[in-house]
Amino acid sequence: MGRGAAFFDLDKTVIAKSSALAFGRPFYRDGLITRRDVVKSAYAQLMFRLGGTDEQTMAKTRDYLATLCKGWPVEQVRQIVAETLHELINPYVYAEAAALIEEHQSAGRDVVLVSASGEEMVRPIGALLGVTDVIATRMGVVDGRYSGEVEFYAAGPSKVDAVGELATERGYDLAESYAYSDSYSDRPLLECVGHPSVVNPDRQLRRLAAENAWPVLEFRHPVPLGRRLRERPAVPVAAAALGVGVGVAIGIAWYGRHRRTRTAPAV
């Protein structure tokens, strides 16, 4: 019997926002997206979250993502993420999720972030959390720019395929593994492990959890990394267990209302 691993969805499970939406303002500021892209991206992500397990919905979301990113310089995207990560992501990591990740690592389990967001975003977020293994969407690249093709779309059943491949490669026993997600679109991921838990679940997922007697966790305390280190554990993970039982307009609007306006050097 192999050892288990712990697979974490990212958005609204580990961080209290959408990782794709979070970088909307700097993407807009640096000319990668337009106002029209902003609205369409937010709508596309909303549709994914509401019906992400539908094959047609996933295909439309994937194709829109490829079209939106076509021609973007890969290095520019990486630089934007690196420059804004601590401002846009760090304050919104759930203390409960960070503590749970540390708990699994202390138990000798590998922790893997599994997200439909792009690898250029997910991997740096993982590094912020001390997580080196990620399963994320990979875009095709030609001459340093996104080609408009999606090499791998980490959503729905595709997540499970990637998890299975990693399990075979590493010798993980999925029956002894854990998975955490907030969205019904991750039902295949939750069902492929022996210890699934739902986090801040949507209505469909809460119902599914009740039907399968899965633990329901409520994460409510996003805390910056520095504060977590001083006050560890910020919130006991056990206290989050309450029972058994899917882009960019929102980011710009929210950022403009709730954070200080920041003037950035022209690119």
Closest CA to 247 of 144, 154, 94, 118: 118
Give the angle subtended at the CA of 152 by the CAs of 131 and 217, to the nearest 5°.
45
Residue 111's H or E segment, with its range, is: strand 110-118
**C-beta of residue 113 within 8 angstroms of C-beta of residue 138:** no
Instruction: Name 161's Cβ contacts closer than 8 Å, sequence gap at least 6.
Output: none
- The single residue of 11, 37, 182, 186 carrying the catalytic annotation is 11
Reduced to 3 states, what is the DSSP secondary structure of residue 32? coil
Give the C-alpha distances (Å, rounded to integers) separating 134 from 9, 86, 118, 124, 251. 10, 19, 10, 10, 23
Any catalytic annotation for residue 182? no
Any catalytic annotation for residue 110? no
- For the record, the structure tokens of 203 come out as 């209505």
Give the C-alpha distances (Å, rounded to integers) separating 13 from 127, 198, 261. 17, 9, 28
Which residues are catalytic, by number? 9, 11
